[in-house]
Chain A
Amino acid sequence: MKRRDFFKVLGGGIVVILIPDDSDAQESGGGRRRGFNEPMPPALSAWLHIGENGLVTVYTGKVEVGQNARTSLSQAVAEELHTPVASIRMVMGDTELTPYDMGTFGSLTTPRMWPQIRKAAATAREMLVDLAAEKWKVDRSAVSIADGTVTAGSHTAGFAELTKGQKLTQTIPTSAAVTPATEWKVAGTSVPKINAREIVTGAHRYTFDMKRPGMLYGKVLRPPSFGAALVSLDSSAAEAMAGVKVVHEGDFVGVTAPDPFTAEKAVASLKADWKQLVAETSSRDVFDYFRKTAEKAPTPSPNLTSYTAAFIAHTPLEPRAAVAEWEGGKLTVWTGTQRPFGVRSELADHFKLDEDQVHVIMPDTGSGYGGKHSGEAALEAARLSKASGKPVKRAWTREEEMTWAYFRPGGVIDVGAKVAPDGTITEWEFHNYNSGPSGLNTVYAVADKKEQYHQTKSPLRQGSYRGLAATANHFVRESYMDELAHAAKMDPLDFRLKNTKDDRLRAVIVAAADKFGWKDRKKTAGHGFGIAAGFEKGGYVACCAEVAVTNGQVKVVRATEAFECGAVVNPEHLKNQIDGAVAMGIGGALFEAIEFANNKISNPRLRNYRLPRFTDMPTIESVLVDRKDLPSAGAGETPIVGIAPAIGNAIFDATGQRLRSLPLAPKGVSPSSESSPAPAP
């Protein structure tokens, strides 16, 4: 939307345009907005419109994937505009209607977008006060707004009465003043999920559920293995099917059909020869492969302790999907992605279009967890739609989602340390191969540190994940802290506190331990207790876990997690995120692992890739450390980092086995499990 079009598209009223500070502009990648042909602030971040009918609409490039950003951002508006949440509409992730946004990842919605939307709403509130003061000829200090009603003495008006006939725009810097957290009335409370009713009735249309007039169903022929090249194709049987069209462009082969059943049969009838590549490694030997292919020869100290983490699959329950249609050379695509503007660029690049010729719309989506940054289904649907001249839907199967998307990277992490007789860590060395640099640096106070991330080759396509590498890095760091504590004959809680200089870290560790009853824990046969802590993406977390090991099977009985992410925006939704992070973390901790060999995924189905279920859940207690004096940080990711090491440490406590590979116990633990005493620190 161009600036001069605001009122044409939105109707009259008032519009607040938010200009990010320079520091934000860099982060939001304002340079990529090809197609805007009118001078605009370099990186718009949100628009707020109050129509002549009084309706409040906020436009943001952020998207909803279940993390409840739609709700939390509405709370931000309600708080500052003094209007009920129900009167606010959020338009999210629509590349024509919303300002550019780099994407919804890195737990950035709350620390960055949330305060900006509050500032936009605060500015709109002041504009309404100005309009009322002018209309009623009263001093603006006499005007107040509550519950969507503006009053001054005997005068009273809804927003519509003030915005009627107006065409006012105001551009504001992000430095506009907002209400401090100690005075919040709507922010900081447990506003329920905004569109819950649409979800429980099945009325919400996810991309997977969409239909367009005349729409065809697309299906793509997959190679037998990664990197295989198409040698020959016989598509005569498919071409003979009624309503089927085969699209063959290089190695891309797809079909369109009037219904999904026919599309499936058509793809199954394709006869293709492929030239397959020889695999460089498999899930069995990938950890050596990481070391061998490290970009720069690292110079680690000898005698480090080695840990590993497997590749795992995000497994969003709604697989990738897209509906594409072309009209007069312009492409519109609905797709579930965490980066609608990124997908717009992918499509514009592929079809050599200006970005304003591509419109990407992101309906609220069936989860992402960092796994939906890319636009594969969007591109497939757009190619098939272009070739068939009709709208086309691509809905990936579970097997496609677990094969042709990307994975959380596997990795090898080598760690070592020296500890003084009083328990102070004096030296710390940490090398991460492949899994990533997030959360690489220890949160503990150590004078002499060497912490390196080593890029390597990856045999699988890999990308973002919930918390990304912070999960693996925390698993290793906190497991090794446990090893050091035992070697130093100190309680793991005392050992952590001894090496903590950060008060916020100390606060969550103490809070978790107190709630869990760490000091009073009593060992019984087969049970064990573990503790872990960390800091990532602005949030501090500590987790205590109790496990029961029965006949080699590990069950997490109890998990207590303390989390501090500044001022809490929505306590119930924060607890929901903690529950979810613990559940997802249990999967990666105990049993989730992608297996591969010969450039193929060996377990791309839920029957052989185990996900956490009801019976895997422990009793979860969460402690929200609400710091109203601190800015709010994101909460969708960091709560996942503490659970795996807490479980591993609890298994050690229960069995004496130190497990150093994620997943820890895909087939349970046994006396022969990989285990060795820690090298003397």
Chain B
Amino acid sequence: MPRITELDVNGSKRRLDADADRTLLSVLRDDLDLTGTKYGCGEGQCAACTVLIDGVPTRSCLTKVGAVAGKRIVTIEGLAPNGHLHPVQEAFIEADAMQCGWCTPGMILGAVALLQKNPHPTEADIVSGMNGHICRCGTYPRIVAAIQAAAHKGGHA
């Protein structure tokens, strides 16, 4: 079976030895100990497992690790290098846009990608753009507010 021995994660080359058929989610969490990426459903319905692949928000639970070799993978751990929070992370804290926090890393990466594509989204843009993400605690209004605040401050930066 083909093996994957290197991944480009959060700006560094990570050595590993994983079956190419495994999910990216499991490899990130179990092999590389990047547990900020969450399992929620394993079927692409909740987006808790969202990571950025070459800047595109991607469900890591449905992505085989063999498909992302050589691509740039960004997880939540890569968003605040040297402890400098990304404006979207700051906005989530300021808006208290979480309860249990399980969906938060995926939400933030989804929001970062949304703002990269559309730096000045309307409320309707955010609602439709983020609709693939589930927050079971129902903090949706605060998440929308956080994304708006981040956009206002130039959160796509």
Secondary structure class of chain A's binding surface, majority of residues: loop
Given contacts A209-B29, A606-B43, contact A583 B138 (CB under 8 A): yes
Q: Closest B-chain residue to A396, C-beta based?
A: B39
**CB <8 Å contact, A365 and B100:** yes
Q: How far is the CA of A364 from the CA of B99 in the complex (A)?
A: 11
Q: Which of A199, A202, A367, A577 contacts B35 (CB 8 A)?
A: A202
The residues of B that contact A397 with a CB separation of less than 8 Å are: 42
Contact A196 B138 (CB under 8 A): no
A317 — which chain B residues lie within 8 A by C-beta? 38, 40, 46, 48, 100, 102-103, 134-137
> What is the bound-complex CA distance between A579 and B95, given in angstroms?
13
Min distance, Cβ A320 to any Cβ of chain B, angstroms: 12
Chain A, range 62-77, C-beta contacts under 8 Å to B? 65-68
In the complex, are the beta carbons of A615 and B137 less than 8 A apart?
Answer: no
**Closest Cβ of chain B: how far from A564's Cβ, in Å?**
21
Answer yes or no: A576 CB below 8 A from chain B CBs.
yes
Is A290 located at the chain interface by the 8 A CB criterion?
Answer: no
Residues of chain A within 8 A of B104, CB atoms compared:
199-200
- In residues 515-535 of chain A, which contact B (Cβ within 8 Å)? none
Min CB gap B20→A, angstroms? 11
- Given A192, A193, A318, which contacts B38 in the complex, CB threshold below 8 Å? A318
Q: How far is the CA of A211 from the CA of B36 in the complex (A)?
A: 13
**A17 to nearest B CB, angstroms?**
31
Pick from B19, B40, B80, B99: contact of A576, CB under 8 Å: B99
Does A474 make an interface contact (CB < 8 A)? no
Chain B contacts with A in 55-91, Cβ cutoff 8 A: 75-77, 79-80, 85, 89
| Known pairs A193-B96, A316-B136, A580-B138; A201 contacts B76 (CB<8 A) | yes
The interface residues of chain B, by DSSP majority, are classed as: loop
Q: Which of A202, A209, A211 contacts B75 (CB 8 A)?
A: A202
- Could you say which residues of chain A place their CB within 8 Å of the CB of B24? none
- Among B38, B79, B94, B139, point to the contact of A201 (Cβ < 8 A): B79
Q: How many residues on B have C-beta within 8 angstroms of the other chain's C-beta atoms?
A: 57
Please name all residues of chain B whose beta carbon is closer than 8 Å to the beta carbon of A202 when the two chains form the complex: 34-37, 75-77, 105
CB distance from A581 to the nearest CB of B (A): 7
Separation in Å of the B36 CB from the closest CB of chain A? 2
* 5 closest Cβ pairs, A-B complex: A202-B36, A583-B138, A66-B100, A366-B102, A209-B35
Can you list 30 contacts pairing A with B, beta carbon distance less than 8 Å?
A67-B99, A192-B96, A197-B85, A200-B92, A200-B93, A201-B36, A202-B75, A217-B30, A261-B19, A316-B100, A317-B38, A317-B46, A317-B137, A364-B100, A366-B102, A367-B99, A367-B100, A398-B40, A398-B42, A572-B96, A577-B99, A579-B141, A582-B138, A583-B135, A583-B139, A584-B137, A611-B134, A614-B128, A614-B133, A614-B144
Residues of A within 8 A of B (CB): 65-68, 190, 192-193, 196-197, 199-206, 208-209, 211, 217, 259-261, 315-319, 364-367, 369, 395, 397-398, 572-573, 576-577, 579-584, 605-607, 611-615, 617, 620
